[in-house]
Structure 1
């Protein structure tokens, strides 16, 4: 393919994407395909001869699109948002067009320095303490990881190495393997599955501590866990606090957890993957009170900030902790020496190579501005509040817990079985998509404002579907109950006595 064909192919693909997003409301959120559909539709072997790009787009339209779950549909209300915007798309195109692998400064100076600039911008917008920023006098700074999962694992590995080094320095006679076998990490039982997985990947036991009735991990619970484990000869090493849990978007009190971690010299990582973006709005920053105690902080710009996956912004107080953990030298990796404070990002992550991800963050911040992002966040929260009122006005439903950010959780008063049946029936229709969670032992349905395209009319559409399906589900339940003959308990007991 030459440059002219690329221009034609690229323009046609952009038109197709724009048309897709303009018409996304016409598509069911969930696909109507069976497992293996694409395996049957596509050839078993790669083509021997070149094919025309027109045929590629034709197959994309006819075979790929029918099997897509439409994450950017205004009727997609599952999980949490995944970022999307035209500025981000352009940033991705520019990044892919340059195709640099920015593991060191010399491998592409702009790749490293734009990441420093954008993460300083973003850190200031979020209201992070200055010591987390590269522009501070200290060793702190930001780095773009692939995901919050990756950031959590990076934090765990760094905490592990730092604790081992400290203990060996204090007592060189200790065995490193024995130390590592005793290290233990902690988080809430409301954490994302990726936090627990970090413990598996990092070979460190991860204790899931019971959250309070509102889904928050409290300081007293953590302190008790530390005492219990130290009494067993274990070594507390790593704590992951959640600012916006996956199930109910609860916020752990950093002001309680932080002092305990600092006193015990335990690494505190803050997972603010979804809700962290809201801290761009000053009115929500009280939810991260105590963040100054944290050692690392992560927010997924690729969730609520309209930046495409993958772009997870992670800040640390001390970049040397990462370097001491991940520094592996080779002569071909020697870089330019400078007095200017510029991070060597290959030491701040698990892989060596890295894409020019800062470009899409840069384009989104430039084109939207801070005010544009604030407006987006506030609008989505107001849409969630609007939906909550619709549900609260229907006496068959209960909204609980209190709506948080863009998330509303609700259930039928008729109980867990009926609520589960309602969600299953709605999912089967494929017009809207939600997923379940639990709250205080009850089965609840999560409704999240996800798409940047969502309007009040879209919320009304989704509520109409939910309400209509509730009508059917509840009426069927009444019919089913009416068909079951009433049981006289006393007669049953008497009959049993006679049979004896």
Structure 2
């Protein structure tokens, strides 16, 4: 794994803060105007080589740090000036404060013992590519404003499309997150359900109330999109899940039919491949049938699960994608691109462009017929050169390298589940999916989240078991030795790990399991 990361045995010890001494004040360096210094003459004296060395040290010695601070709110703010400086400060001093104030106050998502949320990772190619994008500092809004950025984005999103098996009819656009992607997708769904909404809006048009359907296990992005689009949070219908935490298709069908009878207009269904809590996968082909029968938009949130569709054993995740109207994938979750990088794919990308194209007079000379201008495919005008980092990373790792790392995440998740099953004080509460494991401490015996809530175990009542599981998570996180998260399944508190960091090895996972068992001993007595 070493080639994936900055850092080598030859790097100096982790003495963060050793920056060049002769940096001076940014606005008092001899007679050179500040504007010239900031324009680039100080890039070398500002210590690019030292910065690279610092990054290497940080990566190599990250295990020596706490995974997360245990400070009270306001602790970081109290160490910072209340007002901005009137005069510039030396770069050495600024970086010293990064070492002394910022780093100790961070949750280190790149730490190999960080097992919370959906773990992700930064690779050496990703770090270097981010550094490259800053001096380039282009605005990738049209082809003319940066042809390379436009054409490279088109290429890399098509690489990913091919890797995950989406049909050629799907075109992609890079946004920051899946939440922004789903908002754009539902904006197109709204326009197709009520043409001319782009020009006239929704008010005073005698339109029915539009409905969006998603699973009770899905991300809250659907509600946020409904709020932003003027559809209303109450018009997002949460469909019950089955015993594997997947959208129940029978319940979905009933909800859609009942809403039609009540005068609502079922507009879209948001299905998920890799839900936030359990990484469960909705039955996409069955959901697609309901969409087609009711002329509804089908959006697939594959923000987490999309990357795993590259793995041969997980190609079943793709089932039904060819029937979707839009699919979102977050390479910053599972395809090793640093945050942020999310791709929205739309069947016939022109549908998206028709909703958002709006060329200001000042840019009319910058658009070229027949060339893609990405400002036409969303609400943003200014756009970062995000495609560069994906291109660098994916060329460096290759598809085979990405798939090998995803397979290791799957292996570790299943190994962790085996340890849980061998300890009768713990139980799995959902099927292990991709890199996510949901489990809980139950004492000698206790009901699973899907079981009746009247049973009791040695550890006490359901409420008591919930408290114990929360206590285990809080104790571990406060220790700084590892980090995991908790969630609610069927109203009960469960622990959860999400693997995704290439730095996390089987040894780290064994350490985490030892910490969990140790904390269980402490809180359960």
Q: What is the Cα deviation at residue 129 of structure 1? A: 1.6
Instruction: Write out aligned runs for 1:243-254 (5 A).
Output: 243-254=273-284
Corresponding residue of 1:262: 292
Match of 1:285 among 301, 315, 336: 315
Higher relative CO (Cα under 8 Å, sequence separation at least 6) belongs to 1
Secondary structure of 1:385's partner? Answer: helix
Q: How many angstroms apart in 2 are the aligned matches of 1:61 and 1:239?
A: 47
1:350-429 pair list within 5 angstroms: 350-414=379-443, 415-429=465-479
CA contact (8 A) 2:218 2:272 kept: yes
Q: Distance in 2 between matches of 1:52 and 1:320?
A: 50
Residues 408 and 49 of structure 1: is their aligned pair in 2 closer, same or farther, counting only changes over 3 Å?
same
**In structure 2, what is the Cα distance between the partners aligned to 1:36 and 1:206?**
36
Structure 1 residue runs of 4 or more that deviate by more than 6 Å after TM superposition: none
Change beyond 3 A, Cα 1:417–1:47? closer
Aligned to 1:187: 214
Q: Which moved more, 1:217-226 or 1:175-184?
A: 175-184
Alignment of 1:184-263 (within 5 A): 184-204=211-231, 205-263=235-293
TM-score (norm 1): 0.88
Q: Distance in 2 between the 1:180 and 1:329 partners? A: 29
Partner of 2:338: 308
CA distance in 2, matches of 1:433, 1:167: 46
2:115 pairs with 1:77? yes
Residue 136 of structure 2, aligned match among 98, 104, 110: 98
Q: Distance in 1 between matches of 2:523 and 2:76?
A: 34
SS of 1:268's partner is strand
Corresponding residue to 1:321 among 331, 346, 351: 351
Map Cα deviations across residues 397-451 of structure 1 (whole Å, 9 max, x no partner): 1012121111111111233332222223223323211111233443210012132
- Identify which of 407, 417, 438 aligns with 2:488: 438
Q: Matched residues in 1 for 2:101 and 2:214: separation? A: 42
When residues 315 and 467 of structure 1 are mapped into structure 2, their CA distance, relative to the original with a 3 A threshold, is same
- Is residue 416–residue 442 contact of structure 1 (8 Å, CA) maintained in 2? yes
Q: Answer whether contact 1:217 1:253 (CA < 8 A) is retained.
A: yes
Secondary structure of 1:259's aligned partner: helix
How large is the Cα RMSD of the aligned pairs?
2.0
CA distance in 1, matches of 2:429, 2:473: 16
> Match for 1:450 among 476, 493, 500?
500
SS at match of 1:6: coil
What is the CA distance between 1:175 and its match in structure 2? 8.0
Q: Is the 8 A contact 1:83 1:309 kept in 2?
A: no
Return the match for 1:28 from 66, 80, 84: 66
Q: Which residue of 2 aligns with 1:6?
A: 43
Deviation at 1:176, TM superposition (A): 5.9
Aligned partners of 1:436 and 1:259: how far apart in 2? Answer: 35
Instruction: Work out the CA distance in 2 between the residues paired with 1:221 and 1:387.
Output: 33
- Counterpart CA distance in 1 for 2:57 and 2:185 is 41
SS of the counterpart of 1:130? coil
* Secondary structure, counterpart of 2:223 in structure 1: helix
Unmatched tracts of structure 2, length 5 or more: 1-36, 444-464
Distance 2:368 2:381 in 1: 19
- Structure 1 contact 76–450 (Cα < 8 Å) conserved: no
Equivalent-residue separation in structure 2 for 1:350 and 1:167 (angstroms): 15
Matched residue of 1:128: which SS? Answer: coil
Q: What is the CA distance between 1:180 and its match in structure 2?
A: 5.1
Unaligned runs of 5+ in 1: 133-140, 477-500
Q: Tell me if structure 2 keeps the 8 A contact 1:164–1:179.
A: no
Q: Is the 8 A contact 1:164 1:176 kept in 2?
A: no
**In the alignment, which residue of structure 1 is the partner of 2:509?**
459
| Superposed displacement of residue 239, structure 1 | 1.3
Cα offset, 1:130, TM superposition: 2.0
Contact conserved, 2:426 with 2:442, CA < 8 A, in 1? yes
Is the deviation greater in 222-231 or in 371-380?
Answer: 222-231
Q: 2 CA distance for matches of 1:4 and 1:154?
A: 42
3-state DSSP of counterpart to 1:437: strand
Q: Deviations over 1:256-304 (max 9, x none)?
A: 0112112211111110111210111122111221111100001101111
SS at match of 2:241: coil
Counterpart of 2:76 in 1: which secondary structure? helix
Provide the C-alpha distance between the structure 2 equivalents of 1:45 and 1:66, rounded to a whole number of angstroms: 22
Kindly indicate whether the alpha-carbon contact (under 8 Å) linking 1:102 and 1:356 is maintained by their aligned counterparts in 2. Answer: yes
Q: In the alignment, which residue of structure 2 is the partner of 1:111?
A: 149
Range 29-38 or range 290-299, more displaced: 29-38
How many angstroms does 1:379 deviate by? 0.8
8 Å contact kept, 2:69–2:106: yes
Q: 1 or 2, which has the higher helix percentage?
A: 1
Measured at CA, do residues 253 and 46 of structure 1 come closer, stay the same or move farther in structure 2, by a change above 3 Å? same
Q: In the TM superposition, what is the alpha-carbon distance from 1:167 to its structure 2 partner?
A: 10
**Structure 2 contact 123–336 (Cα < 8 Å) conserved:** yes
Local SS of the residue matching 2:438: strand
| Counterparts in 2 of 1:327 and 1:458: CA distance versus 1, 3 Å | same
Describe how 1:129-144 pairs up with structure 2 within 5 A: 129-132=167-170, 141-144=171-174
**Residue 490 of structure 1 corresponds to which residue in structure 2?**
none
Deviation at 1:336, TM superposition (A): 4.3
Q: CA deviation at 1:179?
A: 5.2
The more displaced of 278-287 and 353-362 is: 278-287
| Pairing partner for 1:163 from 172, 190, 193 | 193
1:99 shift after superposition: 0.7
